[in-house]
Amino acid sequence: MNPSLTARVFNKLAHLAGVSLLATTTFAQAQTLDFASVFPESDFSSLMVKHWTEGVTKATDGRIKFRIHWSGSLVGNKMVDALRDGVVDAALPFTAYVSGEVVDLAALDVPFSFPLDAKGLTAFNKEVLPMVDAIYEKRGSRAVSAPPALLPDPITCRDRFLSGPEQYKGVKIRTAGRWQAEAIKRFGGSPVVFAPSDLYTALDLGTVNCTLMVYSAILSLKLFEPAKFITRVDHSIAFASINVSNDRWKKLSEADRAIMLKVGAETMEWGAQEYTRGYAQTMQTLADRGAKFCVPKQQEFDRLVAAANDVFEKEISPKTSPDGARIVELIKRYRPQVLARPVLGDTTECP
């Protein structure tokens, strides 16, 4: 064979082999990750989920895609266990679902723990994220972002405002976990813990009288239909993060891990802008759909803060490990920004 022809054939075969190897490598790296969220796609928190998942897909040129399971359809609210066990690759867990077992996360679930203005919340989330990540890693996942996925939390009832201690007596209030339940006891109510998917029916049938639930979920779960009376305590109630399972994290390249973290940081910044808009828009939409609002008088508001402080100081702080103690100290530093009545939307004082 002609030597130059032989060289050309060899080069062509080498090129084809290289293309084939590249295609095989690209194919091997392409993956679709299962992502779980307890809230429906229409919920405010889902904006954060979509921003992060779509951002990761774009930054990896489509190599990493996500199959999102909304409304707890895959694992209910057992996000952290599902991440640990490899049932899902990524999720939007809330501390309330695990803080009963992981006391180091409990301080984040006590009402009035961290600020809810966009600036204060963004600063707090940036500082607390590595602390939360260290705790979750021991339980099977990595926290890669902490966008402001939860709007403030009022108390929503079927037939009354909870405007004072007398109104709480005998009232069954759905909560999301152990520490919220401890707060409700001290407020004067009777806590009941169950999954949010059952909440609409429970309110409609009168199985519970009220719920401790964020504004966005009152809207997305249509809780304003059976329960129109919203007492505006408007406090923090749980901490949300975007987590990737340890098993999946170990399989990712360093470059892809860096992308997830970079998009996570960008999602936190983007989310802060959406948060203020989402808060105002949700309040207006609820009002348009017949929700009624009132803000507790200052004396009553102070009583609720004191009750939450009692849980914080007596039930949680003494039980935390050094990991949890760091979160407790951070919360103490931010608390002066937290303890104020709401000023956005309808601020009619409770009767």
pLDDT in tens, 123-144: 999 999 999 999 999 999 999 9
Domain boundary among 278, 299, 328: 278
Rounded CA-CA distance 250/252 in Å is: 6
Asked if 152 and 215 touch (Cβ cutoff 8 Å), the reply is yes
Q: Are residues 169 and 192 in the same domain?
A: yes
Q: Are residues 131 and 251 in the same domain?
A: yes
Q: Is 95 a member of any domain? A: yes
Report angle CA 249, 254, 260 to the nearest 5 degrees. 60
**pLDDT at residue 269 in the model:** 94
**pLDDT at residue 71 in the model:** 93
Q: Are residues 167 and 127 in the same domain?
A: no
Q: Are residues 55 and 126 in the same domain?
A: yes
Confidence of residue 223 (pLDDT cuts 50, 70, 90): very high
Asked if 136 and 327 touch (Cβ cutoff 8 Å), the reply is no
Q: Are residues 21 and 118 in the same domain?
A: yes
SS3 91: strand
Q: Please compute the mean of the pLDDT values over residues 183-203 and round it to a whole number.
A: 94
pLDDT of residue 287 exceeding 80, the answer is yes
Q: Is 350 a member of any domain? A: no
Confidence of residue 1 (pLDDT cuts 50, 70, 90): very low
Query: Residues for the chain: how many in total?
Result: 351
pLDDT of residue 2 exceeding 80, the answer is no
Residue 263 belongs to domain with CATH number: 3.40.190.170
Torsion angle of C-alpha atoms 68, 72, 74, 77, degrees rounded to 10: 120
If one counts every other C-beta atom within 10 angstroms of the C-beta of residue 59, the result is 18
Say how many domains are in the chain: 2
Sequential DSSP letters for 166-228: HHHTT-EEEESSHHHHHHHHHHT-EEEE--GGGHHHHHHHTSSSEEE--HHHHHHTTTTTT--
The predicted model scores a pTM of 0.84
Domain boundary among 278, 302, 329: 278
Q: Is 344 a member of any domain? A: no
**pLDDT at residue 198 in the model:** 92
Assigned token pair, 300: 């009553």
- Residue for token digits 């169950």? 194
Confidence of residue 24 (pLDDT cuts 50, 70, 90): very low
Domain boundary among 257, 278, 299: 278
Q: Are residues 78 and 114 in the same domain?
A: yes
Torsion angle of C-alpha atoms 215, 114, 142, 176, degrees rounded to 10: -50
Asked if 91 and 82 touch (Cβ cutoff 8 Å), the reply is yes
Q: Are residues 157 and 248 in the same domain?
A: no
pLDDT of residue 21 exceeding 80, the answer is no
Q: Are residues 66 and 164 in the same domain?
A: no
Asked if 230 and 218 touch (Cβ cutoff 8 Å), the reply is yes
Asked if 108 and 239 touch (Cβ cutoff 8 Å), the reply is yes
Q: Is 2 a member of any domain? A: no
Q: Is 231 a member of any domain? A: yes
Q: Are residues 139 and 19 in the same domain?
A: yes
Rounded CA-CA distance 125/26 in Å is: 35
Q: Are residues 113 and 175 in the same domain?
A: no
Query: CA distances (Å), 69 to each of 72, 76, 148, 212, in order?
Result: 7, 10, 20, 24
Least confident of 15-29, 42-56, 119-133, 158-172: 15-29
pLDDT of residue 243 exceeding 60, the answer is yes
Rounded CA-CA distance 45/38 in Å is: 10
Q: Is 87 a member of any domain? A: yes
Return all residues near 351 (Cβ < 8 A) that are at least 6 apart.
161, 163, 294
pLDDT of residue 3 exceeding 50, the answer is no
Q: What percent of the chain has pLDDT over 90?
A: 81
Domain span at residue 172?
153-238+279-337
Q: Is 139 a member of any domain? A: yes
Q: Are residues 195 and 306 in the same domain?
A: yes
**Span 33-91, pLDDT tens digits:** 999 999 999 999 999 999 999 999 999 999 999 999 999 999 988 999 999 999 999 99
Asked if 37 and 49 touch (Cβ cutoff 8 Å), the reply is yes
Q: Is 1 a member of any domain? A: no
Q: Are residues 39 and 14 in the same domain?
A: yes
Q: Is 195 exposed, middle or buried (0-12, 13-18, 19+ CB in 10 A)?
A: middle
Confidence of residue 23 (pLDDT cuts 50, 70, 90): very low
C-alpha count within 13 angstroms, C-beta hemisphere, residue 78: 11
